[in-house]
Amino acid sequence: GDSVTQMEGPVTLSEEAFLTINCTYTATGYPSLFWYVQYPGEGLQLLLKATKADDKGSNKGFEATYRKETTSFHLEKGSVQVSDSAVYFCALPGEGNQFYFGTGTSLTVIP
Amino acid sequence: EPEVTQTPSHQVTQMGQEVILRCVPISNHLYFYWYRQILGQKVEFLVSFYNNEISEKSEIFDDQFSVERPDGSNFTLKIRSTKLEDSAMYFCASRRTSGSRTGELFFGEGSRLTVL
* Three-state SS annotation for chain B: CCCCEEECCEEEECCCCCEEEEEECCCCCCEEEEEEECCCCCEEEEEEEECCEEEEECCCCCCCEEEECCCCCCEEEEECCCCHHHCEEEEEEEECCCCCCCCCCEECCCEEEEEC
Mean pLDDT over residues A75-92, rounded?
96
**Mean pLDDT (whole number) for A34-58:** 94
Mean pLDDT estimate for chain A:
93
Give tens-digit pLDDT for B43-102.
Answer: 899 999 998 999 999 999 999 999 999 887 899 999 999 999 999 999 999 998 766 677
Give the span between the Cα atoms of A6 and B25, in whole angstroms. 28
Q: Return the pLDDT at B114.
A: 97
Checking if the pLDDT of A111 tops 80, the result is yes
Minimal-distance CA residue of chain B relative to A87: B40
Q: β-strand B53-57 against B43-50: which pairing, if any?
A: antiparallel
d(CA A22, CA B70): 41
Do residue B110 and residue A49 have CB atoms under 8 angstroms apart?
no
Distances (CA, A) of B73 to A47, B51, B56, B69: 27, 13, 20, 7
The confidence band for A96, taking pLDDT boundaries of 50, 70 and 90, is confident
Enter the DSSP assignment of A83.
G
More confident call, A81 vs B27? A81
Cα separations in angstroms, A11 against A46, A93, A107, A110, B11: 20, 26, 5, 11, 32
Instruction: Give the nearest partner residue to A101 out of B42, B102, B109, using CB atoms.
Output: B42
**pLDDT tens string B26-49:** 988 999 999 999 887 888 999 999
A19 pLDDT tier (thresholds 50, 70, 90):
very high
B98/A93 Cβ within 8 A: yes
Residues 6-65 of A with CB under 8 A from B: 29-32, 34, 36, 42-46, 49, 51
- The torsion angle over the Cα atoms of residues B95, B97, B99 and B102, rounded to 10 degrees, is -80
Q: Which of A29, A101, A103 sits opposite B101 (nearest CB)?
A: A29
Which residues of B fall within a CB distance of 8 Å from A91? Answer: 105
Q: Is A53 in contact with A66 (CB distance < 8 Å)?
A: yes
C-alpha–C-alpha distance, residues A96 and A88, integer Å: 24
| Whole-number pLDDT of residue A23 | 97
How high is the pLDDT of residue B98? 63
A30 vs A59, more confident: A59
Considering only CB atoms, B107 lies closest to which of A31, A44, A97, namely A44
pLDDT range class, residue A7, cuts 50, 70, 90: confident
